[in-house]
Amino acid sequence: MLNIVILAAGLGKRMQSDLPKVLHPLAGKPMLAHVLENARRLNPDRIIVVVGHGAERVKDAFADQADIHFALQVPQQGTAHAVQMAAPLLVAGTSGGDATLVLYGDVPLVQTETLQRLLNAREQGMAVLTETLADPTGYGRIVRNQQGEVIRIVEHKDASPDEHAIAEVNTGILVAPTGNLKDWLSRIDNNNAQGEYYLTDVVSLSVQDGLPVHAAQPSALWETLGVNSRIQQAQLERHWQGEQARRLLEAGVTIVDPARFDLRGSLVCGRDVFIDVGCVFEGRVELADGVRIGPHCVIKDAVMGAGTQVEAFSHIHEAKIADQARIGPYARLRPGADIGSQAHVGNFVEIKKSRLGQGSKANHLAYIGDAQIGERVNIGAGTITCNYDGVNKFQTIIEDDAFIGSDSQLVAPVRVGQGATLGAGTTLTKDAPAGQLTISRPSQKTIEGWLRPIKKS
C-alpha cells in the first residue's frame, strides 16, 4: 500500500496574495495540480492533501477529483504536525510493504522518475530525497556518521557552525514505512529553535529504532525547487518552460527561441513542426507534420492538419484546421471554427462556430459566425454574417463556389445558393438563388451640373 501525503497548509506569506499559495499557477495550472499529476503516476492507494490556510478554496479547486482525501491542519505547528493530521487517513495492508511518501504542495515539479528512485532506495526502511547545494542556507542539513550513513537532519536554525558547513540538504521529500511513521510522529516534540514539530526528526527516530535511512537524489535540481515568492514562481516557470521546450526540441520540433516559448498544457507535434518566437500554447494542441506557427500566436485546444501555416499574431481557440490551410496574420478563430483543407483565413477575420469548406477563402476583415460555408467559396473583404438579433442566433448557409462581394451583410437565417454571386455592398435578407447575381444596393447615378457649396464671404 502506498500513501502519498501532500503538505499544503502553509500560508505562503511572501507571495503577497489572497490566493492560497498552492493554487498559484505554474505553466497555466495550480502548483498543487502538478504535484498531484506526478503523484498519481506512482499509482498510490491513497492521496491525502493537508490543507490549512485557504483550506476551502484549495478543496473547491480540486472538488472534481474524487481520489483526493483532505486533512485539515489548523493551526500549523510544523511539518510533523501536518503529517499527523493525515495519519488517521493513511491506509495499511498486511504485506509490510506499506509506505507513506511525503511531498510538498509548493514544490511542484518533482518528477515521477525521481520519486520512483526514492521509493526504490528505501528498501525496508525510510529514505530522504537530498541534494548538494553551493549555498545551503536555510535548508535542513543531512548529518551522516563516519560510515556515511544518514543519522539525523538538523534544521538551519538549530544547526551548529560545523553543521552549517554541510552542503547536503533535505529537500523535504521523504518516504517511510507507514506503521513506523505513525509511531514516530507521536514521539516528536517541538523542543527546537522554532517551537515546531519537525517531520525531519523521523530520521533520528528511525536510526534509534534500528531502521536504516537511505538517501536518493533528484535527476535535476529544479525538480526540488520550492516556491515561496513571486520571484521564485517566475524563475520556476522559466525552468519548466525550458524543460518542456527541450523535450520538444529533442523530439524534432523547431522552436526558434526556447526562452520565448510557453506551453500551458500539452502539445503534440508531428515531424518538422516549426514554432516561431513568443507563442503561447494552452490546453491540448495537436500540430501535424510540417505545421508552421508564426511569431506571437496564442493557440488553445486546437488541432491542425499537415502543412498548415499560421501567420503572426493569430489567436486560435477550440478550433479545428485541416491540412494545407493558411491562417493569419491577425486571424481569430473562436470555438467551433472548422477550417477545411487549403482554406485561407486572412487578417482581421473572425470565425466562430462555422465551417469554412475546402479551398474557401476569407482573406480580409470579415466576421463569420454560425455559418456553413461550402467549398471554393470566396468571402470578400468586409463581409459580415449578421447572426444575432440580440436574443437568438441564426445560421447562414453559403453553398459551394459562391462569391460574396465585398462589404456584404448576410442577415441570417439566409442561404446563398451554389455558384451564386453577391454584388459588393449587398445586404442579403432573402435567399440568393444558385448561379445568379444578387445585388441589393441602389443603382449608381450621377447628378449633372451639381456644384459644391462655396463658403459665404
Out of Ca ion, ligand UD1, none, what residue 9 binds, judged by CB under 5 to 8 A for its kind, is: ligand UD1
Question: What residues have CB less than 8 Å from 1, skipping those under 6 apart?
Answer: 45, 46, 91, 92, 93, 95, 97, 98, 99, 178
Say which amino acid occupies 266: S
Out of ligand UD1, Ca ion, none, what residue 199 binds, judged by CB under 5 to 8 A for its kind, is: ligand UD1
Q: Min. distance of Cβ 230 from ligand UD1 in angstroms?
A: 16
Cβ distance 209 to 180 under 8 Å?
yes
Task: At 230, list the grid cell.
Answer: 513571486
143 is a site residue for ligand UD1 (CB under 6 A): no
Give the Cα-Cα-Cα angle 358, 283, 239 (nearest 5 degrees).
130
Q: Min. distance of Cβ 44 from ligand UD1 in angstroms?
A: 18
Give the whole-angstrom CA distance, residue 261 versus residue 322. Answer: 24
Site for ligand UD1 in 32-51 (CB under 6 A): 50
Cβ distance 202 to 174 under 8 Å?
yes
Give the whole-angstrom CA distance, residue 296 versus residue 322. Answer: 21
The 10 Å Cβ neighbour count of residue 455 is 4
| Binding track over 215-254 against Ca ion, x by CB under 5 A | -----------x----------------------------
Out of Ca ion, ligand UD1, none, what residue 140 binds, judged by CB under 5 to 8 A for its kind, is: ligand UD1
Out of Ca ion, ligand UD1, none, what residue 136 binds, judged by CB under 5 to 8 A for its kind, is: none
364 is catalytic: yes
The one among 25, 226, 283, 433 contacting ligand UD1 by CB under 6 A: 226
Catalytic residue among 69, 214, 296, 364: 364
Q: Min. distance of Cβ 170 from ligand UD1 in angstroms?
A: 4
Q: Min. distance of Cβ 314 from Ca ion in angstroms?
A: 41
352 is a site residue for ligand UD1 (CB under 6 A): no
Q: Min. distance of Cβ 147 from ligand UD1 in angstroms?
A: 22
What is the end-to-end Cα distance of the chain in Å, rounded?
A: 100
Q: Please give the full DSSP string across 161-229, using - where no structure is assigned.
A: HHHHT--EEEEEEEEEEHHHHHHHHHH----STT----GGGHHHHHHHTT--EEEE--SSGGGG----S
DSSP state of 157: G
Task: At 6, list the grid cell.
Answer: 501532500
Q: How many residues bind ligand UD1 (CB under 6 A)?
A: 28
Q: Min. distance of Cβ 214 from ligand UD1 in angstroms?
A: 17
311 is a site residue for ligand UD1 (CB under 6 A): no
413 is a site residue for ligand UD1 (CB under 6 A): no
Cβ distance 52 to 73 under 8 Å?
yes
Q: Min. distance of Cβ 176 from ligand UD1 in angstroms?
A: 13
The one among 38, 39, 104, 304 contacting ligand UD1 by CB under 6 A: 104
Give the whole-angstrom CA distance, residue 163 versus residue 151. Answer: 13
Question: What residues have CB less than 8 Å from 407, skipping those under 6 apart?
Answer: 380, 381, 382, 383, 424, 425
| Backbone angle region of 413, left / alpha / beta, with phi > 0 → left and psi within -120 to 50 → alpha | beta
Of the candidates 266, 261, 258, the one whose C-alpha atom is nearest the C-alpha of residue 279 is 261
Out of ligand UD1, Ca ion, none, what residue 39 binds, judged by CB under 5 to 8 A for its kind, is: none
Q: What is the dihedral of CA 299, 305, 307, 311, to 10 degrees?
A: -20
Q: What is the dihedral of CA 329, 331, 336, 338, to 10 degrees?
A: -40
> Which residue number is nearest to Ca ion in terms of Cβ?
226
Stretch touching ligand UD1 by CB under 6 A, among 58-66, 163-171, 266-274, 361-369? 163-171
| Binding track over 5-24 against ligand UD1, x by CB under 6 A | --xxxx--------------
172 is a site residue for ligand UD1 (CB under 6 A): yes
Nearer to ligand UD1, 139 or 184 (CB): 139
The one among 126, 130, 131, 139 contacting ligand UD1 by CB under 6 A: 139
170 is a site residue for ligand UD1 (CB under 6 A): yes
281 is a site residue for ligand UD1 (CB under 6 A): no
Residues that bind ligand UD1 (CB under 6 A): 7-10, 50, 52, 73, 76-79, 81-82, 104-106, 139-140, 153, 155, 169-172, 198-200, 226
Residues that bind Ca ion (CB under 5 A): 226
Catalytic positions:
364
